[in-house]
Amino acid sequence: MTDDNILDSIHSPSDLKKLSIEQLNQLSEEIREEIMLTVSNNGGHLASNLGVVELTIALHSVFNTPKDRIVWDVGHQSYTHKILTGRRAQLKTIRTENGLSGFPKRAESEYDCFDTGHSSTSVSAAFGLACAGNINNEKNYTIAVIGDGALTGGLALEALNSAGKSKQNLIVILNDNKMSISKNVGSMAKHLTKLRIQPSYLDAKSRVQSRLNKIPGIGHGLARMMSGLKSWIRTNFFGHQKNMFEQLGFNYYGPLDGHDIEQLQTAMKAARRSKGPVMLHVCTKKGKGYEYAEKNPNVFHGISAFDIETGEPKSSSKGYSAVFGEYMCSHAAKDKKLCAITAAMAMGTGLVDFSKKYKNRFYDVGIAEEHAVTFACGLAAGNVTPVFAVYSTFLQRSYDQILHDAALQNLHIVLAIDRAGIVGEDGETHQGIFDVAFMNTIPGVTVFAPASFSELNDMLDAAIYRTRGVAAVRYPRGGELFIPEDYHYDGEPYTFYGKKFSETLIVTYGRMFSNACAAAEKLKKRGTEVCILKLNTIKPIDLNAVKKCMGYRNCFFFEEGIKYGGVGESFGFLLYQNGFKGKYHLTAIENYVHQAKCDSTFHRLGLDAESMEEIIIKNSDPSVPDNQVLDYKNGVN
């Protein structure tokens, strides 16, 4: 093995085809070091990326990308893919403003054939790409790489069912890094797999089937009989029955060592030669090559910047998720009917301690948000109190279940909506800016928006114990922002803060209240005093709050959410419906939000204190006609 850095010689996947297995193994270690260094500085997904280094190298060394297309499920494991496809020099910019995305992006590279960010989409997308290639007479391969966790999503299972019965050429790689899909098949099955992926076996199988089919009259029957005999021998002599994938119509090869590049290459070449859909079952270890990540793959799944030597985060502070988890544990001790549900996100939502202390009331349903909501409805119908903790961006998948199964029946379920609002570096797929708008469309739903940890606790009380029907509490990623000492939350649906009889009113909710208070202080120093209306319950909007706005000349609404269908749009409608004569200015988000630190994003969207101050000064000019709605254009593309 050479001491030279092999990674320096890799500029595209074609360079891999010149390397020996020994060199490819060395390359895998170099890539691991590169990924660890990058994530330790930028944060990101570490364990998942370290687990697929050899798998990614094997894929790009066997297939001819980008002509052959790889769809990465979720896409949080695509860092090696980015390095090998000409983006190594940009890797240090990953998850930063105007830098590489932490997920595949079609606009970023021709090697990224499908944008991903949410789970369980890969097989559907890859199947569609494969069918399109067939229609267009393209001679290429389409590969979906999906983890065993993502396979718990209903969309993935629907896609496997559809693809399996289609006979379409499609390769699905199951990256099995935790959950056993079926019983250990033993050494004999491994030996049979090794035999079945050899080119000589595949060629012989193809020739025999072809010749049998050509025999007039009895050929097809003989071919079917041979296939049935093979299955009978496999079942009765080797105890190996068809697994789920084979029953769905896939040619199954596995389990394979996901860190053995040579074995992976052999299996992938066999998959290329097979007809119809193929499932390669690959076993990998999350966090491989980094001791701390191997021992705690959940901790290092998605992590902030950390010290490589110690594995400790460079900065840490208590966040809303932790406060929520503490609340659930303390109240479950007293309330025997309080249950918690997560969709494979116990750690991210703060429910790890709950899962240990109250095992009989904790339900991890896998990556299945739709099922989680309807399951919660069943619990509610059975006279217990379910709390479903879920990221805002993942709750989008449950719209129909909230509407049809929960709200329509007026069942009391509680949605603890984590990561509500801007989340920063994860980018467009993870910004929690749409939940308010889609919840606004569903009758009978109550939504609370805390601006501090203490408000979160009180609003959880209100949602769980003082509200009927569907109740949601939405709170942001991270910790508390500044709240003035003289502000007091009284548990009411709204709160006025500041000089009540000024000409200018700021309306907002959630953590934007902090920025509004800071903007009010800046304006006061410039001789402009404002009052702030903080909405604590954002659905339904209390009409008394609306009626108390009638005397203001200027009303500025700042919303950390999508404009169309949001609270600001609804509030403006209610204002004018109730006779408001002043000017209403709405600053809200009008499009998808790109990756960047939260502070930078707030400034770009006109939602930080400085921007609020500027917008209010600019639009408080008496020369601007009254009774006119002015929108701040945030310039997000």
Task: Quick: pLDDT tens for 585-600.
Answer: 999 999 999 999 999 9
- Distance set, CA 637 to CA 26, 252, 601, 633 (Å): 42, 44, 13, 11
Q: What is the mean pLDDT of residues 409-415?
A: 98
Of 178, 168, 187, 151, residue with least CA distance to 251: 168
The pLDDT of residue 635? 30
The pLDDT of residue 526? 93
The pLDDT of residue 124? 98
Note whether 18 and 103 are same-domain residues: yes
Q: Which CATH number fits the domain that encloses residue 20? A: 3.40.50.970
Note whether 440 and 365 are same-domain residues: yes
Q: Rounded to whole angstroms, how far apart are CA atoms 170 and 161? A: 13
Give the model confidence (pLDDT) of 225-250 as tens digits. 555 555 554 554 445 567 889 999 99
**Sorting pLDDT into bands at 50, 70 and 90, what band is 625?**
low
Percent of the chain residues past pLDDT 90, beyond the cut: 81
Note whether 238 and 252 are same-domain residues: no
Q: Rounded to whole angstroms, how far apart are CA atoms 274 and 294? A: 35
Distance spanning both ends of the chain, measured CA to CA: 49
Q: What is the mean pLDDT of residues 77-82?
A: 97
**Sorting pLDDT into bands at 50, 70 and 90, what band is 520?**
very high
Note whether 122 and 200 are same-domain residues: no
Average pLDDT for the chain: 90
Q: Which of 82, 87, 286, 474 is catalytic?
A: 286
The answer to the question of residue 71 being in a domain is yes
The pLDDT of residue 188? 36
Q: Rounded to whole angstroms, how far apart are CA atoms 556 and 31? A: 50
Q: What is the mean pLDDT of residues 32-54?
A: 96
The answer to the question of residue 561 being in a domain is yes
The answer to the question of residue 189 being in a domain is no
Q: What is the mean pLDDT of residues 76-92?
A: 97
Q: Contact, 323 vs 457, CB < 8 A?
A: yes
The pLDDT of residue 200? 57
Q: What is the mean pLDDT of residues 133-160?
A: 94
Of 233, 478, 232, 230, residue with least CA distance to 348: 478
Q: What is the CB neighbour count within 10 angstroms for residue 279?
A: 27
Give the model confidence (pLDDT) of 189-198 as tens digits. 454 455 455 5
Of 49, 82, 80, 66, residue with least CA distance to 142: 66
Domain stop point among 446, 474, 502: 474
Around 451, how many Cα atoms within 13 Å sit in the side-chain half-sphere?
A: 28
Note whether 329 and 465 are same-domain residues: yes
pLDDT reading at 637 higher than 50: no
pLDDT reading at 116 higher than 90: yes
Q: What is the mean pLDDT of residues 559-563?
A: 98
Q: Rounded to whole angstroms, how far apart are CA atoms 249 and 245? A: 7
The pLDDT of residue 201? 52
More confident residue, 545 or 303: 545
pLDDT reading at 501 higher than 50: yes
At residue 257, what are phi and psi to the nearest 5 degrees? Answer: -75, 110
Q: Rounded to whole angstroms, how far apart are CA atoms 530 and 19? A: 68
The answer to the question of residue 188 being in a domain is no
Q: What is the mean pLDDT of residues 172-177?
A: 93
Note whether 468 and 358 are same-domain residues: yes
pLDDT reading at 396 higher than 70: yes
Q: Is 397 a known active-site residue?
A: yes
Q: Contact, 314 vs 349, CB < 8 A?
A: no
Percent of the chain residues past pLDDT 70, beyond the cut: 87
Q: Kindly report the pTM of this predicted structure.
A: 0.89
Note whether 70 and 174 are same-domain residues: yes
The pLDDT of residue 115? 96
Note whether 361 and 282 are same-domain residues: no
Q: Rounded to whole angstroms, how far apart are CA atoms 608 and 599? A: 7
How many folded domains does the chain comprise?
A: 4
Note whether 329 and 466 are same-domain residues: yes
Q: Which CATH number fits the domain that encloses residue 519? A: 3.40.50.920
In sequence order, what are the residues at sequence separation of 6 or more whose Cβ sits closer than 8 angstroms to the Cβ of residue 532?
Answer: 496, 497, 498, 505, 506, 507, 508, 513, 516, 517, 520
Domain span at residue 93 reads: 6-181+243-291
Note whether 216 and 284 are same-domain residues: no
The pLDDT of residue 242? 74
The pLDDT of residue 194? 57
Q: Which of 87, 397, 474, 539 is catalytic?
A: 397
Give the model confidence (pLDDT) of 452-493 as tens digits. 999 999 999 999 999 999 999 999 999 999 999 999 999 999
pLDDT reading at 368 higher than 80: yes
The answer to the question of residue 386 being in a domain is yes
Q: Is 87 a known active-site residue?
A: no
Q: What is the CB neighbour count within 10 angstroms for residue 599?
A: 11
Around 106, how many Cα atoms within 13 Å sit in the side-chain half-sphere?
A: 6
pLDDT reading at 322 higher than 60: yes
Note whether 225 and 264 are same-domain residues: no
Q: Are strands 142-147 and 69-72 parallel, antiparallel or unpaired?
A: parallel
Q: Residue-wise over 167-202: b if at least 16 C-beta within 10 A, else e?
A: ebbbbbbbbbbeeeeeeebeeebeebbeebbeeeeb
The answer to the question of residue 484 being in a domain is no
The answer to the question of residue 90 being in a domain is yes
The pLDDT of residue 181? 35
In which residue are the tokens 């983890």 written?
A: 147
pLDDT reading at 220 higher than 70: no
The answer to the question of residue 297 being in a domain is no
Q: Rounded to whole angstroms, how far apart are CA atoms 129 and 144? A: 10
Note whether 48 and 122 are same-domain residues: yes
- Distance set, CA 469 to CA 44, 339, 414, 461 (Å): 37, 16, 9, 14
Q: Is 286 a known active-site residue?
A: yes
In sequence order, what are the residues at sequence separation of 6 or more whose Cβ sits closer than 8 angstroms to the Cβ of residue 182?
Answer: 243, 244
Q: Which of 69, 95, 288, 369 is catalytic?
A: 369
